[in-house]
Copies of this chain bind each other. A is one copy, B any other.
Amino acid sequence: MDKSAGSGSGETLLFLTDEQLRKGIEAMFFAYRGFTADPDRILDQRGYGRAHHRALHFIHRAPGTTVNNLLSILGVTKQSLNRVLRSLIDDGLVESRIGREDKRERHLFLTPVGAEMERALSDAQRARMRAAYRAAGPAAVAGFRQVLEAMMDTEQRAQFQSLRDGGS
């Protein structure tokens, strides 16, 4: 099919033309648009943006996480995150509790309203992911995940892996 050689072990040298790589780059570009399209519509209706989605996602993932923790996962500045977090707290979607052990820390939780919003967003995103996975089949999914993981920066990969299994 493709002009590639190798047994698939990941050790072999592949002949990768600029053309093949360009297709991968463009596929990534268009797919990411699809990936964010459904949540974006919901966010837009409710007056929020993608930044709010990311915050809700990771607070849902790791309830009680601190601001600093979230900062390093999201890779933005605290000022940037703070703007988003403040609107979520003011609107009653996120609760910020002062740490019991270390009172400097704020632990973040979704309120029932925030949890419902998060569910709406992730339901939409999962539905698309599920459809794509089903259309492509399990072997393709494994490959998809391998390539994505190899594309991350070392730091990001470490974060992804620590989230990956520790999660729920």
By a beta-carbon cutoff of 8 Å, the part of chain A in contact with chain B is: 1-2, 4-6, 8-10, 12-14, 16, 18-19, 21-35, 37, 54, 57, 61, 75, 122, 125-126, 128-153, 156-157, 159-160, 163-164, 167-168
**Distance in angstroms between the alpha carbons of A28 and B27 in the assembled complex:** 13
Q: Which residues of B contact A35 (CB under 8 A)?
A: 25, 28, 151
The prevalent SS among residues of A at the interface is: helix
Q: Which residues of B contact A31 (CB under 8 A)?
A: 147-149, 151-152, 156
Counting every copy of the chain, the complex holds: 2
Given contacts A14-B133, A16-B134, A159-B30, contact A128 B151 (CB under 8 A): yes
**Distance in angstroms between the alpha carbons of A14 and B131 in the assembled complex:** 10
Given contacts A138-B14, A144-B147, contact A160 B26 (CB under 8 A): yes
Q: Which residues of B contact A22 (CB under 8 A)?
A: 61, 122, 126, 167
Task: Contact check, A131 vs B156: say whether CB atoms are below 8 A apart.
Answer: no
Q: Which residues of B contact A6 (CB under 8 A)?
A: 137-138
Given A8-B140, A9-B137, A34-B151; 7 other pairs, CB 8 A cutoff = A25-B35, A28-B32, A30-B157, A34-B156, A35-B151, A136-B143, A144-B146
Task: Contact check, A10 vs B153: say whether CB atoms are below 8 A apart.
Answer: no
Q: Which residues of B contact A156 (CB under 8 A)?
A: 30-31, 33-34
Q: Which residues of B contact A134 (CB under 8 A)?
A: 10, 13-14, 16
Given contacts A137-B6, A150-B131, A151-B129, contact A145 B27 (CB under 8 A): yes
